[in-house]
Amino acid sequence: MKTPKHSSASSAPFMMAELAWASWETIARRTLMMAQNSCSIAEYNRMIYEKTAATLEISRVLASPISASAEALLKPLHSRATANVQRLRKR
């Protein structure tokens, strides 16, 4: 039996758990950067723009004529949060 790849989260509970962890880690890393005065202007801008883009994408899903699944609603936030934490780990 094949096990699903880690990066292809498909169930809503798994996505919610991964989103919670990635969000927590991203907030912790960014807070540390701010405390150390090493947070760039680009990072501050990224914080604003990514939330705006995710909100707009979720709004499009909600406005679509077909009913939105939990996975479809979580995907914009999940993909950005996991990408952020991977990027910030490299710093």
pLDDT at 72 over 50: yes
Determine the pLDDT at residue 3. Answer: 41
pTM of the model: 0.76
Going from the C-alpha of 8 to that of each of 14, 35, 40, 48, 56, the distances in angstroms are: 10, 34, 31, 26, 22
Give the integer Cα–Cα distance in Å for 83 and 91. 13
